[in-house]
Amino acid sequence: MLKKIFFCPVCRGIAALLLAAALWLPFVHLFYDQSAANYHSPDKIPPLAMSIAARHIALWTDPELRRLELEKMRSRNAEWDFMARCFFVWSLGNMGLRDPEMKPTVLPVMDAIIDETVRLEKEQGIHFFLMPYAKYNEFKMQPPRSIFIDGEIALMLGLRRLIEDRDDYRTLHRERIDVMLDRMQKGPILCAESYPDECWLFCNSVGLAAIKVGDFLDGTDHGEFFGRWLESAKKNLIDKETGILVSAFDLSGKSVSDGPEGSTIWLVAHCLQVIDPEFAREQYWLARKQLKSSFFGFGYAYEWPGGKGHDDVDSGPIIPIINLSAGSTGLAFLGAASFNDQEYLTSLYRSLEMGAFPLPTGQGVKYCASNAVGDAVLLYSITQGPAWQKILSGRQP
């Protein structure tokens, strides 16, 4: 019988393919290695960041390019339009802090995006940047506001102010901070709603970071509030099985709708660095243990611990068998970069080069498997660092 199988042409072909795969698969990742200096530098803006930023600046300075890109994203999810703006502004803020010579380039773009975003929110209301289901129910807290919108705009204003302050932006920043603090402190577990009776830890952690930036800039001190928030989160929002913070829950904190997920925890850990660095690092490494995975040297991330669970609007498509989550993997770049996890970061960049199909254009690089928000998250992961370092150093601007 074995002799017949061996001499069967089809079987010999299959055997040859399996043998070849066994020999070359462990080495394929080497073809996608690149110099770490392309995406990581302790003292200058890496080349990849400059290339991604150049294309996004082109989008924001060419009305037609911007219209086409935003229409494409808004047809899928209005949040993507909003988040692309915010992550890009946060990136430019770090770039301006890293290299003061970039200020004349980044400040006008930051101001244009901030001004347009604030104008659209004022004219169209908060629902302009929210998914349609935000209209299905009433916010528990009135008047209706979303900490998703307030927190990300506040952080845009704060990082812009870190480069160079403006009186009007100081006023807008303080107003957002006051609103967030008021609503968070009224919440039973010190969290505010992103959607009606739906609190997202992603958004609340961005809000905390924006408040901390305000403390640094304006000499205020919300340390007591941060302490109470951390105590509440550790008591009410830690998943007992993994030790990782959960992602979504009702205003009371008694009903958890989503446990730990990659598209949340990587950013939460990053934001908590300026609130409690030790707790943030602990959360990152717990998440890494549960969500990090790789396939022959190509790194990626699960959305749910152990790769279990379904896909949703946050996770993006989940590739079967290996359970790769687009959303979690994209934000894993930010987690790994924030905590200087070079091993994981290197493997993630291999996957980016192999699977995201980078395409050089006249304006800069774009990733064909991504969109503006995905590219902006990647850019922020490369540029992050200077803002948090400035705040943690305690040196006033």
pLDDT of residue 1: 47
In which band, very low, low, confident or very high, does the pLDDT at 307 lie, cut at 50, 70 and 90?
A: confident
> With pLDDT > 90 as the criterion, what percentage of the chain qualifies?
68
The neighbour count for residue 100, using CB atoms within 10 Å, is 10
Q: Is the peptide bond before 143 cis (omega within 30 degrees of 0)?
A: yes
pLDDT at position 65 is 75
Helix 201-218 and helix 167-186, axial crossing angle in degrees, nearest 10: 130
User: Cα torsion for 349, 351, 353, 357, to the nearest 10°?
Assistant: -140
Q: Residue 311: pLDDT band by 50, 70, 90 thresholds?
A: low
Q: Would you state the pLDDT for residue 64?
A: 80
Nearest-angstrom CA–CA distance, 362 and 350: 24
pLDDT, mean over the chain? 88
pLDDT digit string, tens, across residues 131-166: 999 999 999 999 999 999 999 999 999 999 999 999
Is residue 313 pLDDT above 70, yes or no? no
pLDDT tens digits, residue range 257-298? 999 999 999 999 999 999 999 999 999 999 999 999 988 788
Q: How many helical (H) and strand (E) elements, i.e. helices and strands, does the chain have?
A: 16, 9
How far apart CA 22 and CA 358 sit, in angstroms, is 28
Please write the tens of the pLDDT for every residue from 80-125: 899 999 999 999 999 999 999 999 999 999 999 999 999 999 999 9
Residue 397 confidence (pLDDT): 47
Please give the Cα distance from 243 to 286 (Å, whole number): 7
